[in-house]
Structure 1
């Protein structure tokens, strides 16, 4: 069997195997590239409300009163005064900031973004261990796809003509960005 035929078979099959990983890495890559514009892992929702008759006794009574008024049944993980007139209450996935003078409440609820959080965990190699080896294997398969793709087509659309120019452009563009931003 000719080498070009084997390259075509391997290129096709490895390409199919890599589709899921490519989607995960591409979506996560776009999200992580824009980390300064938004949080790709968590959705943060802020809301403001008002609570009346905040007791001026101890912090524990204030916490119980505020959570009762907000109809939050979750047990607080902790609380502390950020200033004499402000108390922060920490709940799982929720921070409640209480202005003790005005009764103004600012809640910040944090929840993981479905799928995107998991994609980012994999892309940034948080699992380590076996995932490192698996993603390295994926990187090697991408190298194979890039190199074998050079030799799949013959003639004008193959490596000797069009392929040379397209490959050169693909190498020059990142170099230009490096030169521009350094």
Structure 2
């Protein structure tokens, strides 16, 4: 019995492609996000807002209740977590979910920083960073599957559009471009 390598190759390529569709989308989206770290924070949307407050002269910096009252005056919905004084005349209040408020106690200017998870990108980046041991192994299997997909894809088509002509040219250019980037960035 003759083994039909071309058919096995097509079936393997097709089934791995179907099975790992979700992972391909996860790594493609998180790859785009991580490629542009200097342009934006792919995990969080950070908003800064400034408000002017009137702070009474008898404001007691050490009184947690007064600080919570000050936070409530600002109108932030996140709950108080902790506070400290990073320098003389400045109060930093930490709120739930990573938000914070910095208050200049002399001028009354409050800078509110609110943070929320960026939809979709937070989740795909979370997976990209390998959150656990089981996922690490699944991601490793996915990486091996990508190699198999790349190699098996070279042999899907026959003739002038296959690896004997067009495929070799396109794969060659792709490899050359990758090597050129390696040379540029490693020097």
Alignment of 1:60-75 (within 5 A): 60=63, 62-72=66-76, 75=79
Alignment of 1:3-152 (within 5 A): 3-59=5-61, 60=63, 62-72=66-76, 75-92=79-96, 93-125=98-130, 127-152=131-156
State the Cα distance separating 1:165 from its structure 2 match.
Answer: 1.2
Match of residue 167, structure 1, among 153, 166, 171 = 171
Q: 1:54–1:62: 8 Å Cα contact kept in structure 2?
A: no
Q: Deviations over 1:151-174 (max 9, x none)?
A: 111111111111111111111111
Instruction: Work out the number of aligned pairs and report it.
Output: 181
Mark the runs of 5 or more structure 1 residues left unpaired by the alignment: none
Q: 2:55–2:105: 8 Å Cα contact kept in structure 1?
A: no
Change (3 A) 1:57 1:35: same
d(CA) in 1 for partners of 2:78 and 2:18?
46
d(CA) in 1 for partners of 2:68 and 2:6?
73
TM-score by length of 1: 0.92
Q: 1:24–1:119: 8 Å Cα contact kept in structure 2?
A: yes
Q: Deviations over 1:14-68 (max 9, x none)?
A: 1111211111100000101111211111110111111113344421254133123
TM-score by length of 2: 0.89
Mark the runs of 5 or more structure 2 residues left unpaired by the alignment: none
SS of aligned partner of 2:49: strand
SS of aligned partner of 2:93: strand
Q: 1:54–1:100: 8 Å Cα contact kept in structure 2?
A: no
Q: 1:96–1:106: 8 Å Cα contact kept in structure 2?
A: yes
